[in-house]
Amino acid sequence: MKPIRCLIVDDEPIAIRILERHLELFPQVVIENTFTQAALALEFIRTNKIDLVFLDIEMPRMTGMDFLKAVKEPPAIIFTTAYRNYAVEAYDMDVVDYLLKPISVERLGRALNRYEERCNQAKQVSAIGTGACINVKTSKEILRLAIDEILYIESFGDYIIIYDKMGKHVSRERISCMEEQLSVYQFIRIHRQYLVAVNKITAIRGNMILIGDKQLPIGRTYRGNIKESVLGV
């Protein structure tokens, strides 16, 4: 197994020590360095190859959000924080996971699994090529749709409506088949009728998800998907 070269960045030394002890249980993880100041960590990654950063958010001088915005090509990020209110913004920045303190070993293991899954998905996408597309059969033609332009998919029995930046497209297809095809591209089921692109979610309000100005309901049996894939809890 390829080593995962990591940094821990947290202004609380005790939080660093706890995370270090947890990470000792994962042999694939190599802790290259730890920092209590984000600015010092920023300098370090500019001259060292790092795969993954465990990053606190609320820190003096430079916050975790500031750190991430300052890196031109950041390594993978797992936020570690005591605050829930940054979750939506964090996922909009394409972080791997969002861990709430106190962090359990089990939850940390799931975050590392998510990182490894993302690496595998990136390899698959790379093999396919950039600008990945899917073929969608309508009543008149076969469309080739760019996956990164799809916002969400709505189901009506044996039919689906695919909403993308160009409009909407109706196809005779089951949403479960689309879910299987698109799971590698970070699409999740939020309701028996809806499949959404995680990176297109703009807000979560109660039992509704917003994609732009469109509100979509969260089904009771799918709330776990939201917690795991979007809120990271």
Residue 229: its pLDDT value, please? 62
Residue 101: its pLDDT value, please? 95
Query: What is each CA distance from 232 to 21, 220, 228, in whole angstroms?
Result: 21, 17, 5
Q: Are residues 63 and 150 in the same domain?
A: no
Query: What is each CA distance from 121 to 21, 28, 73, 100, in whole angstroms?
Result: 29, 19, 18, 25
Rounded CA separation 206/89 (Å) = 16
The domain boundary residue, chosen from 128, 145, 167: 128
Q: Is 90 exceeded by the pLDDT of residue 94?
A: no
Q: Are residues 15 and 119 in the same domain?
A: yes
Q: Are residues 153 and 218 in the same domain?
A: yes
Percent of the chain past pLDDT 90, that is, above it, reads: 54
DSSP H/E element including 47: helix 38-47
Instruction: Calculate the dihedral angle through the C-alpha atoms of 115, 121, 122, 127, rounding to the nearest 10 degrees.
Output: 160
Beta carbons within 8 Å of 233's beta carbon, 6+ residues apart: 84, 87, 98, 100, 227
Residue 185: its pLDDT value, please? 83
Counted domains in the chain: 2
Cis peptide before 74 (omega within 30 of 0): no
Q: Are residues 99 and 123 in the same domain?
A: yes
CATH number of 12's domain: 3.40.50.2300
Residue 135: its pLDDT value, please? 87
Q: Are residues 165 and 97 in the same domain?
A: no
Q: Which of 43, 46, 41, 68 is nearest to 57 (CA)?
A: 68
Tokens 């109706």 belong to which residue? 170
Beta carbons within 8 Å of 200's beta carbon, 6+ residues apart: 151, 152, 211, 212
The domain boundary residue, chosen from 83, 104, 128: 128
Q: Is 70 exceeded by the pLDDT of residue 139?
A: yes
Q: Are residues 9 and 119 in the same domain?
A: yes
Rounded CA separation 13/203 (Å) = 33
Q: Is 60 exceeded by the pLDDT of residue 92?
A: yes
**CA contacts within 13 A on the Cβ side of 48:** 16
The residue with greater pLDDT, 108 or 125, is: 108
Q: What is the pLDDT of residues 61-70, one digit of tens each?
A: 999 999 998 9
Q: Are residues 94 and 143 in the same domain?
A: no
Rounded CA separation 56/18 (Å) = 13
Q: Is 50 exceeded by the pLDDT of residue 127?
A: no
Q: What is the pLDDT of residues 156-186, one digit of tens each?
A: 988 999 999 888 999 999 899 898 888 888 8
Q: Are residues 15 and 47 in the same domain?
A: yes
CATH number of 184's domain: 2.40.50.1020
Q: Are residues 139 and 219 in the same domain?
A: yes
Q: Is 70 exceeded by the pLDDT of residue 128?
A: no
pLDDT category at 121 given cuts 50, 70, 90 is: low
Q: What is the pLDDT of residues 192-210, one digit of tens each?
A: 999 999 889 888 888 899 9
| Domain encompassing residue 46 | 4-128
Q: Are residues 87 and 104 in the same domain?
A: yes
Q: Are residues 13 and 118 in the same domain?
A: yes
Output the pTM of the full model.
0.58
